[in-house]
């Protein structure tokens, strides 16, 4: 029987979750505050943790996530963040950066508990859920963030991001990335100094580093810090992808079969489970709209109308039906993703710069 830990100071909702999990066939344990949750996570050894976004006393949810990711016994346990207030893109992104796999609202769960079950089954599917490698990018400009996002998606790597060095240090210690990409100059840190701190850290000293920026004249210093490559900005996604692939080498990333994940900006699609998230918020798409989104996310440019009609309707559809399907897809994606699905001469494309994080 799979075990799930509930960390929530709302006794009524915690009881409700416990009853749902019992009906679903899970064994549940409950903690009413963050510090008790961290302690029980080691004792109970759960397969998954449901964590309240706003804990009223003691450890905050971010403190709990950092403590869980910092401990060898609980580092790999997936965490689903649950909020009693309306989800905001900023909250979902913060939760994701601190290591949460998913962000759900309590209203979503009470309205549709079977939706929670579907997510739990997917997250508990085993190591195949996890991305084979993770990349942390530390940059305060959108251009490098976008290039890193596209490169990570094409290599099927998980991407976490930080805009300042201090935040990057915290995330690196908590998430233990396979690779760190960072700018030479950040609002609060010089790149060389930040690289030294990574090399001094017990959990980051062996993580490969890639730096990007203007010419520094400090090539010797960077090499002594184990910087694998220095890239002059602006960095194209194809160039960055090549350097990342070379850094990782040709060895397989994981002995487990990897679940087919598409990831561009705030859009994340599990192709096998047919699940979609926009900025950490799950979306329900019909079969045709799901296939349309996948086709656009896989493409690096424009997908012609003919190609979409052939792939989605096996050549039996018509342009009007395609246009209506695109309109419905935009509605389903909401404001964070709708503007990025753009009609261009001859077809449609997904424009990364229009994706709202």
Q: Domain extents for the chain?
A: 3-129, 134-248, 264-354
- The pLDDT tens digits for 185-240 are 899 998 889 999 998 887 788 888 999 988 655 555 677 777 888 998 888 888 89
pLDDT reported for residue 132: 53
| Of 333, 217, 215, 199, the residue nearest 279 (C-alpha) | 333
In the block, tokens 């087919």 appear at 260
Residues of the chain with pLDDT under 50: 126-131, 250-259
Angle between helices 61-70 and 89-97 (to 10 degrees): 20
Q: Do residues 182 and 139 lie in contact, with contact meaning Cβ atoms separated by under 8 Å? A: yes
Domains 3-129 and 134-248 share a fold: yes
Q: Show the DSSP H helices in 201-355 as ranges.
A: 219-224, 237-248, 287-298, 305-313, 319-333, 335-338
pLDDT reported for residue 301: 78
Domain at 264-354: CATH architecture: Orthogonal Bundle (1.10)
Q: Do residues 137 and 148 lie in contact, with contact meaning Cβ atoms separated by under 8 Å? A: yes
- What topology does CATH give the domain 134-248? Rossmann fold (3.40.50)
Q: Which residues of 139-167 are buried (b: 16+ CB within 10 A; e: fewer)?
A: beeeebbbbbbbbbbbbbbbbbbbbbbee
pLDDT reported for residue 272: 64
pLDDT reported for residue 250: 34
pLDDT reported for residue 294: 87
Report the CATH superfamily, name and number, of domain 3-129: Response regulator (3.40.50.2300)
pLDDT reported for residue 52: 94
pTM of the model: 0.43
pLDDT reported for residue 129: 38
Q: The tokens of 19 are what?
A: 């009853």
Alpha carbon of residue 111 to chain centroid: 25
């Amino acid at each position: 029987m799979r075990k799930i830990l509930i960390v929530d100071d709302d006794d009524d909702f915690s009881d409700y979750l416990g009853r749902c999990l019992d009906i679903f066939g899970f064994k549940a344990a409950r903690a009413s505050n963050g510090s008790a949750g961290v302690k029980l996570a080691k004792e109970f050894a759960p397969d998954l943790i449901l964590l309240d976004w706003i804990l009223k006393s003691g450890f905050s949810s971010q403190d709990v996530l950092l403590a869980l990711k910092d401990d060898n016994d609980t580092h790999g346990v997936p965490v689903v963040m649950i909020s009693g207030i309306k989800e905001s893109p900023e909250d979902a992104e913060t939760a994701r950066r601190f290591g949460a796999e998913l962000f759900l609202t309590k209203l979503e769960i009470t309205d549709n508990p079977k939706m929670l079950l579907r997510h739990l089954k997917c997250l508990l599917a085993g190591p195949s859920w996890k991305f084979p490698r993770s990349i942390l990018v530390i940059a305060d400009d959108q251009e490098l963030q976008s290039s890193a996002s596209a490169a990570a998606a094409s290599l099927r790597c998980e991407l976490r991001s930080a805009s300042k060095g201090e935040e990057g240090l915290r995330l690196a210690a908590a998430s233990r990335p396979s690779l760190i990409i960072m700018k030479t100059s950040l609002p609060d840190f010089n790149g060389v100094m930040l690289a030294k701190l990574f090399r001094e850290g017990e959990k980051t000293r062996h993580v490969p580093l890639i730096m990007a920026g203007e010419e520094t004249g400090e090539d010797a210093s960077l090499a002594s810090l184990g910087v694998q490559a220095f890239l002059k900005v602006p960095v194209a996604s194809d160039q960055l992808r090549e350097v990342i692939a070379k850094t990782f080498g040709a060895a397989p990333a994981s002995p487990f079969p990897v679940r087919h994940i598409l990831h561009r900006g705030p859009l994340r699609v599990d192709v096998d489970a047919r699940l979609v998230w926009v900025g950490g918020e799950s979306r329900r798409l019909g079969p045709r709209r799901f296939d349309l989104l996948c086709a656009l996310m896989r493409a690096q440019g424009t997908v012609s109308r003919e190609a979409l009609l052939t792939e989605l309707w096996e050549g039996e559809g018509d342009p009007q039906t395609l246009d209506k399907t695109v309109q419905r897809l935009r509605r389903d994606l909401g404001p964070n993703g709708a503007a990025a699905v753009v009609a261009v001469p001859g077809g449609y494309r997904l424009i990364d710069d229009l994706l709202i994080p």
